[in-house]
Amino acid sequence: MNRSSDRLIEFNQYGRYVPEPQPHTTVEVIEVPKKRKLYARRCCIPFILCCIATCILIAIGVGLTVFFLYPRIPDLSITYKSAELKSVNANTLSLSITINLNITVDNKNYVTLQADQVVANVTLKNVGAKIGQAKNQGVISFPSMTKTSQIAPLLFVSTITDQNVFLSVAEQCSASGARSIPLSLQGTYNVYYKGISFAYPMTFSQDADVPCCFGSGC
């Protein structure tokens, strides 16, 4: 052995350096707990069944909506009921008449129907001359799932420009005349869903005899 510095350096028989033994150390092994895997909670019902059930519910909802709101063409009819002569002015060749029409609607829908815009072209029947238009005032309602008849009052106010036509009206109301004014009505009206812009345009043709009297004198 050779001395070098303060410690001995050992060599084996082959002349190789033998390192100084190290003091024994104890290594403590600490176990790290494994992380628990988090799994998503599974639905009790398989996902595909949830999708099918949702689709079925949506289809049922759409079907019920279509069933209750799908427009069903109602049975409609319009007839002449009565008329009243309001005024006759020989100076201005004008006359005013109220014409009452009876509108019957068999409403097979689940919503209320309404009628408006009743317009009739008025023709003096005995001479075939058009003398103006009669129009209704207001809106008429027809309840759902029932057959209802309502009166549509049409107001006719016209100034007759042809004097001969006015004279024909006067002759009808003379003592020797028929004591009534024969009119022909050709018109249209709309029946539509309340709150929905869906209308049934209808046409009608009716004759009307207007008595030549006023109020209690009729």
The Cα-based distances of 106 to 68, 69, 72, 102, 190 in angstroms read 16, 16, 11, 13, 15
Which comes out higher in pLDDT, residue 39 or 186? Answer: 186
The token duo for 20 is 């100084």
Domain ranges of the chain: 39-70, 75-213
Predicted local distance difference test score (pLDDT) of residue 1? 45
Q: How many residues does the chain have?
A: 218
**Cross-strand partners of 140:** 115
Predicted local distance difference test score (pLDDT) of residue 104? 93
Predicted local distance difference test score (pLDDT) of residue 45? 60
Mean pLDDT of the chain: 81
The token duo for 171 is 């002759």
Q: What are phi and psi of 97, to 5 degrees?
A: -135, 140
Strand 7-11: give its sheet, edge to edge: 2-4, 7-11, 17-18
In the predicted model, is pLDDT for residue 155 greater than 90?
yes
Predicted local distance difference test score (pLDDT) of residue 52? 86
Report pTM: 0.65
Q: What is the pLDDT of residues 90-147, one digit of tens each?
A: 888 899 999 999 999 999 888 888 888 899 999 999 889 999 999 987 888 999 899 9
In the predicted model, is pLDDT for residue 175 greater than 60?
yes
173/156 Cα distance (integer angstroms): 18
The token duo for 170 is 């006067």
**Cross-strand partners of 11:** 17
DSSP states of 31-47 as a string? PPPPPPPP-PPPPSS-H
Kindly report the CATH number that applies to the domain delimited by 75-213.
Answer: 2.60.40
In this structure, the number of other CB atoms found within 10 A of the CB of residue 35 comes to 6
